[in-house]
Structure 1
Amino acid sequence: MKKNKTKGIALLTLLLLLAVVAGACSGTGASNAGNAVPADSAGAENDGSEELAPEKGAKLVVWEAQEQVAYMEKVGKAFEEAYGVPVTVETVAGGDQGARLATDGPAKTAADILTLPHDQIGLAVKAGLLLPNDAYEEETRTSAVETAVAASSYEGVLYGYPKSVETYAMFYNKDLFPEPPQTWEEIIAFAKTYNKPDESKYAIMWEFVGYYSYPFIGSYGGYMFGDNNTNPDDLGINKGDVVKGFEFLRSLKEILPMNAGDITYDVKTQLFQDGKLALNVDGPWSVSAFKDQVNFGVAPLPSFPNGQPAISLSGVKSYYVNAYSEYPIAARMFAHFASSKENQLLNYEMTGAIPANIEAGEDPSIQNDPITSGFFRQFEQSVPMSSVAGVDLVWDGLQSAFVSLWNDPSLDIKQTLDQIAQNIKDGMAAK
């Protein structure tokens, strides 16, 4: 993958975009301020004039997704060399870390530090599972993109140590598409001559979960919650012209004749690596899986037949400290260390993660990278995921909607969406 040295994407573009959605990324709920660093702890309420010191005999466990393990092992080794605290990295899928913390945290078997997407912190905070980012709060607020800080906060309390900002886009095989398609019409026309299901050759794939399939809702006037995903009383998955969005989705089964459950991350990743999948909808976390195997580019998602751009969901990932950690000071130190400018650039170099740190985002390696610019361009057409408590019910409902309506053409779209929406409302009321 060669870097474009003649054209960059200015960080100002990203900052302006992030500012627009800043208010949507913070949630409301009870704080966990009672878990702040004790006043007599070394460097408590750190204002930058003192250095925290880890607890005597401290040792840390970090949970990290498979695609980031090699990066995190480097960070852990550097932290141990700097502070004498050994760090063990355990592989836990990104989507499983929050659920694991809910059970393993109180049992004292969870990692000290983990990564969560911002839409999961509401439930974690309400359950008392996270420690606030109090010792490094001022530095974090100054060094990280504003929206990343807002997204890592809950009811005004900062909990996270921002790590990366992200959305998904379209990976395209340059040997099949010298220039990326811009519309679904182009993809459908290509698929009619390229697809060979008996040889596992397909034009495009995405996972049938709410995150990746959201454009079929958002680009047709639907939404998760009102007021930029902050109003739990306004559920919008069955509003606007969403029925037309699902009708168009169903029409695509002609070019993707597979059951939804058979289209997994592993399946489409392997097919793209093998040159059998022309277009793969995925995020920056998958860049490392392709950069040495496929001649690829990254471009915004295709626009829809109604003339609207594909509206994706965007998010912020941050490190968080387990409230049940035996070494809360060392854990805070590590989360701060891992989220530094230098380590966010290392994460970008090794995995393609887009930094949340302002200075890291200004680095020429970011601005001049055409792969990263593809994600930035899609970010322009994204909306932030909701961190409203109860959003987990929406995720479950959306997956049910996409899977059932894709697999079973006899289901009535409007009735199905209305029923799923009512189930979500009932579930949220019962929480």
Structure 2
Amino acid sequence: MQAVTFSLVLCLLLTLTVTACGSGNGNSASKPNSSPNSAVNEPGGTTNETNTSGENTTDEEMEPEAGAKLMVWEAKEQLEYMKQIAADFEKEYGVPVTVEEMAGGDQGARLATDGPSKLAADVLTLPHDQIGQAVKAGLLLPNDVFEEETKSTMVATAVQASSYDGILYGYPKSVETYALFYNKDLIPDAPKTWDDVIAFADTYNNPKENKFAIMWEFVGYYSYPFIGSFGGYIYGDNNTNFKDIGLNNEGTIKGFTFLQSLKKILPLNAGDITYDVKTQLFQEGKLAMNIDGPWSITAFKENVNLGVAPLPKGPDGQDSLSFSGVKSYYVNSYTEYPVAGRLFAHFASNKENQLKNFEMTGAIPASIEAGEAPEIKDDPIIGGFFEQFQNSVPMPSVSEIKSVWEPLKAAFVSLWNDSNLDVKQTLDQTVTTIQADLESK
């Protein structure tokens, strides 16, 4: 509760700071930029009027501001990749780009403190669950010039995650979600449905020898397939309306009832199924399938004949929906070069550069065409994650989601450990607990 209160206070302070810096103090240099065309150079050195038609301008019609230069923040693991992109951009547009190392988790906070004082990068990367506070504080420019192109070329989930309050801000860069790891030596073909998993478990499971068909962690993050896949939801309006809690609706009740039925193929209590336990069993060749994310690939590639596939379809043939995360480029609203900044974010996120990012760092692309490229689609590991991502829901980015995780985990664990618990009553109590926490803030 203290962490949430601090976040809300910080957000308010940031909003007040930006308002103060952008108010009528006579210092136009401190005000954030918004127009993509007010500084577009035409032949002869004149500038266009601000575009008020609502039509998107393409990069062929745009030219960077005279004398433009950019600074880009990038995390250490992507530094060399970004330096190549910066060099390529300078060759094409004549705009020098300085790349400064900045940890991914620090960029949003630094933008909040350094943006209004003109010390922040012109372009940076943010995970989608951080953009809400940045938008409220007036720190990001909308992706308006390339909006339609972005929406048509990027996976819809990535576009949704890079938007806030119906406005697109990000230029999607990479995605991640969890999927089904499987050991090809134990199960050559990934099961398509949960019925297939159950049938395999009947022939493979041997708890006395610690041999199990499938495992996943019992935390709220991994419970979403048993919510969204069955018609449930956490908050309404795409997880933005915390006054509408869907964790005890008919869909969620159905999903968690199905979850209880799976205890027969994984006869362990939730507390006995940890990340370390399932990782060790998978490495030892005792666990056939493991629901996990791309962050665990390196732990298995050396000693497991590894495959990755989408999560098994539900009992009614429905796709299993996972939670996902999206990283996108964003343009600092206080940049002195809003045109060059937009051009760079668009350039860095194009199909070719997303494929280069995958080649150099393993980042899974958000571009539809990049995902269809042979190096992604035919990759026995990455292709499975990209396919699952298309059946995913962005992690909620509203601060009120913090009221959900612990009660949801408790329900997830309780209903698994005690098959005699009534699903509806348990989920009703879960929603009551969440509502009480929300009202106390």
**TM-score of the aligned structures, taking structure 1 as reference length:** 0.68
Displacement after TM superposition at 1:185 (Å): 1.6
Residue 97 (structure 2) aligns with? 85
Structure 1 CA distance, aligned partners of 2:157 and 2:390? 14
Matched, 1:116 2:122: no
Displacement after TM superposition at 1:195 (Å): 6.3
Q: 1:308 to 1:81 in 2, by over 3 A?
A: closer
Aligned counterpart in structure 2 of residue 75 of structure 1, from 73, 76, 81:
81
Superposed counterparts of 1:403-418, under 5 Å: 403=413, 405-406=415-416, 413-418=423-428
Q: Is there any run of 5+ residues in structure 1 with no aligned partner, and where?
A: 1-31
Residue 74 (structure 2) aligns with? 62
Q: Secondary structure of the equivalent of 1:106?
A: helix
Q: 1:391 to 1:88 in 2, by over 3 A?
A: same
Superposed counterparts of 1:26-425, under 5 Å: 35-36=33-34, 41=39, 47-48=58-59, 49-52=61-64, 58-63=70-75, 69=77, 72-82=78-88, 83=90, 84-92=96-104, 97=105, 103-108=109-114, 113-117=124-128, 121-134=131-144, 136-137=146-147, 139-141=149-151, 143-145=153-155, 148-164=158-174, 167-181=177-191, 182=193, 183=195, 184-190=197-203, 192-193=205-206, 196-197=209-210, 202-226=212-236, 232-240=242-250, 242-243=252-253, 245-246=255-256, 249=259, 252=263, 255=266, 257=268, 259-260=270-271, 263-264=274-275, 268-269=278-279, 271-284=281-294, 286-287=296-297, 290-291=300-301, 293-303=303-313, 306-307=315-316, 309=318, 311-313=320-322, 315=324, 317-321=326-330, 323=332, 329=338, 332=342, 334-349=344-359, 353-371=363-381, 374-375=384-385, 378=388, 382=392, 390-403=400-413, 405-406=415-416, 413-425=423-435
Contact conserved, 1:284 with 1:352, CA < 8 A, in 2? no
Q: 1:54 to 1:429 in 2, by over 3 A?
A: farther
Displacement after TM superposition at 1:164 (Å): 3.8
Structure 2 CA distance, aligned partners of 1:56 and 1:276? 58
User: Over aligned residues, Cα RMSD in angstroms?
Assistant: 4.4
* Identical aligned residues as a percent: 49
Q: Is there any run of 5+ residues in structure 2 with no aligned partner, and where?
A: 1-18, 20-30, 42-49, 52-56, 91-95
Displacement after TM superposition at 1:87 (Å): 2.0
Contact conserved, 2:263 with 2:416, CA < 8 A, in 1? no
Contact conserved, 1:204 with 1:278, CA < 8 A, in 2? yes
Structure 1 CA distance, aligned partners of 2:290 and 2:362? 16
Structure 2 CA distance, aligned partners of 1:41 and 1:267? 57
Structure 2 CA distance, aligned partners of 1:253 and 1:240? 23
Displacement after TM superposition at 1:188 (Å): 3.5
Structure 2 CA distance, aligned partners of 1:41 and 1:275? 61
Displacement after TM superposition at 1:414 (Å): 3.8
Displacement after TM superposition at 1:216 (Å): 2.4
Structure 2 CA distance, aligned partners of 1:221 and 1:138? 29
Q: 1:39 to 1:332 in 2, by over 3 A?
A: closer
Displacement after TM superposition at 1:339 (Å): 1.1
**TM-score of the aligned structures, taking structure 2 as reference length:** 0.67
Amino acid at match of 1:132: P
RCO higher in 1 or 2 (8 Å CA, sep ≥ 6)? 1
Displacement after TM superposition at 1:132 (Å): 2.3
Structure 2 CA distance, aligned partners of 1:215 and 1:312? 5
The aligned length equals 382
Displacement after TM superposition at 1:206 (Å): 1.9
Q: Secondary structure of the equivalent of 1:335?
A: helix
Q: 1:311 to 1:141 in 2, by over 3 A?
A: closer
